[in-house]
Amino acid sequence: MKENIRLHLSGWEKIPPGSPAAAAKSIRAAVNKSMQPLGYYQANIDPVIDGNQLTLNIDPGPPMLWEQSDIVIPPLPADVQERIQPWRTSDLLKTGSVLNHQNYDEFKKGVVTAVRQVGYLDAKWEQSRLLIDVARQRARAVLHLASGERYKIKSITFNGSDLSEKTTNTLIDTQPGAWYDADDIGLVYDNLLGSGYFKYANIDVEQEAPDQATLDIELTDHPSDQFTTGIGYGTDTGARGKLGWTRTMVDPRGDSIFSNLQVSEIGEELSTQYRIPWPHPLERYLSWDTGWRREITTDRESSLFSTGLSFNRSSRKRWQYKFGLNLEHEKYRQGNSDDQIVTYILPNYQYLQRHVLGEKSGHRSLIKVWFNTALGISILDDQSRFFSVESGVSYDVELSYRHGFATRVDLGGIATDDFYTVPLSKRFYTGGDQTVRGYKYNAISSEDPDGELLGGQFLNVFSMEYRYRYLPDWMAAVFVDTGRAYISGDEPFYKSAGIGLRWQLPVGMIAFDLAQPIGDPDENKVRLHVYMSATL
C-alpha cells in the first residue's frame, strides 16, 4: 500500500499550490485514488504540510470484502470448460477476501482470453460491473459472458517460401475443419521455425463471421547456404575448432545437407548428413550419413570411415529413436601392436527418452533414458561378429532454488566369440569429463601385460553430484564417480571425488571441476576438468 501511495505521489514536484485546505484536499484525493484499487474506500487521511515537506498520517479503515458475485458463463463444450476451470476455482474473487481491482481485472481478462484461445473469438463480457457498498464494506462483481460462435479453421494459405506445400503441410498440426485453438496455432509456429527451413514465420488470423477463420502464413526462407564457426576447450579434447555448412533446402521436397569439420588436440572428424523428409522433416525422416574420424590418445590410434542409411523417428521433446545400417572401415593400432584393418557392416538401433517433471511446482526434474545396440559383422576376413549394447539413465532434480542433485548410471556389454577381433572404436573405455572425473579421457580399461589399454568388453559407470546455488548463475558442486571398462569381472572399480563450479549461460552450463582418484596408488594427483555440462 505504501508503495502504491508513493507511486501516485511521485509525479508531484512540489506541494499543490493554493491554500493549505485546498492542498490537503488534493492530497487526500490522490491518496484515496491509490488506496481504493487495494480495497480501502474509507481511509482517514491527515496530511501534514511543512514547507515542501509532506507527512501523511493514514488510518486505512476497514477494507471492502468480496461477497457472493453474480458470474454467468454459458454452457460450453467439455474441452472449453477444462480451459476455464482454473479461473472458476481461483481465489481472485473469493467470498470474504479483500477487494483488489487488479485481481478483478485479471479474472475478467483471464476468462475471456481462455475462451477465445479455444475458438470463441468474439467472446466478451455482456455485463461487466463492479458494485461496491461502502456502508456495508462489501464488493460484488456482476459478470455475464457472451461467448458467441466457436470458430473453425476454414483454410490455411502459405506465401513466400520455395518449400513445397506438401512438405509444409506436414509441419501443420491443425487442418481446415478443425476448431480454432491458439495452442495449436502456437505449435504450428514452433514447428515452422523448428524445421530449420525458415528464418521468419508470421501467422495472421482473419475472422469471417460468424464462425470461420483463415490462417495466412507468411514465410521467409533461410539463406541457401549457412556457415557456422566455433572454438572451444574441453579437458577431454583440449582446444578445438569447428566449421559447419548447412543447406536446409536442397529442393522443394525439403531435403537438407549438414556438414561439419571439427579439429581438436586428440584428432579430427569430418561428417556429412543428407536428410530426406519421410514425410515429416522433424518427426520422420531418412538420413544418409558419411564421415571420417581420427583419434589419437596416449597408447592407441584409430581411423574410421563410415557411411550408412538410417530411419529416424522423433517426438522432438520426449523421445526419439533410429535404426539403420552402416558400412564401416577402421584402421587402428593398440600400444606397440601392428596396425589392424577391419571392414564390417553394422545394423544398429538407438533410443532416447526424456521426461521433464514438476514444471508447475517450480522443482523441475529431468529423467533421461537411452539405449544403443549394434551388430557388427566383418565382411572381408573371417566373418567375425560382435553384438554390443549400451544403456543408461540420468536423473537431475532441482530440490529447491538453492539445492540440486544429479545422478547417472551407464552399463554396457559386448557379446563375441573373440573380444580381440572387436574394432577399437567399439570397445568400452571410461574416464574423463563426462564419466569418472580425476582420470584422463578414456584412460580406464583393461590392460595387457605391458600396461597398454585394451578396451573393455563390459562397462559400469556411476556418478552422484550435489549442487548449491549461491548466485543466480553460479553453483558450487561436490561429486563422486566410480566406473570400470573391463574384460574380467574381478577387475577393480576406479573411484574419484571432487568439487566444482557451475556457470549458467544462455547456451548451457560451463563446469569447472577439481577431481582426485581415490585409492589408486598409480594415479593420485588432482585433475582439472573444464567442459559444457548438461543442465535442466
Q: What is the 3-state secondary structure (H, E, C) of 219-285?
A: EEECCCCEEEEEEEEECCCEEEEEEEEEECCCCCCCCEEEEEEEEECCEEEEEEEEEEECCCCCCEE
Burial of 110 (0-12, 13-18, 19+ CB in 10 A): middle
Domain covering 152-221: architecture: Roll (3.10)
Alpha-carbon distance of 342 to 423, in angstroms, equals: 7
Rg of the chain over all Cα atoms, to the nearest angstrom:
33
CA 505 vs. chain centroid, Å, equals 14
Residue ranges of the chain that CATH labels 3.10.20.310: 2-59, 65-146, 152-221
Please say whether the dihedral angle defined by the alpha carbons of residues 50, 53, 59 and 63, taken in this order, is positive or negative.
positive
Q: Residue 435's pLDDT is what?
A: 94
pTM: 0.77
Alpha-carbon distance of 32 to 226, in angstroms, equals: 60
- Overall fold of domain 226-533: Porin (2.40.160)
Contacts of 97 (CB under 8 A, 6+ apart): 65, 66, 91
Q: Residue 505: count other Cβ atoms within 10 Å of its Cβ.
A: 10
For 65-146, the fitting CATH number among 3.90.660.10, 3.10.20.310, 3.40.50.720, 3.90.1150.10 is 3.10.20.310
Task: Classify 2-59 by CATH class.
Answer: alpha beta
Closest CA to 72 of 117, 128, 150, 131: 128
Chunk the chain into consecutive blocks of 10 residues (it has 536) and report each block's average pLDDT, rounded to whole numbers: 70 65 78 86 80 75 92 91 89 92 94 94 94 94 94 94 92 90 92 92 91 94 92 83 94 95 93 94 93 87 95 87 96 83 95 85 85 93 87 94 95 95 93 92 90 93 97 96 96 96 89 94 89 65
Give the DSSP letter string of 120-155. Answer: -TT-EEEEEEEEEETTTTEEEEEEEEE--PPPEEEE
Residue written as cell 576406479? Answer: 494
C-alpha cell at 122: 468474439
Residue ranges of the chain that CATH labels 2.40.160.50: 226-533
**DSSP 8-state secondary structure symbol assigned to residue 196:** S
**DSSP 8-state secondary structure symbol assigned to residue 444:** B
Q: Residue 16's pLDDT is what?
A: 66
8 A C-beta contact, residue 139 and residue 42: no
Q: Residue 511's pLDDT is what?
A: 92
CA 158 vs. chain centroid, Å, equals 29
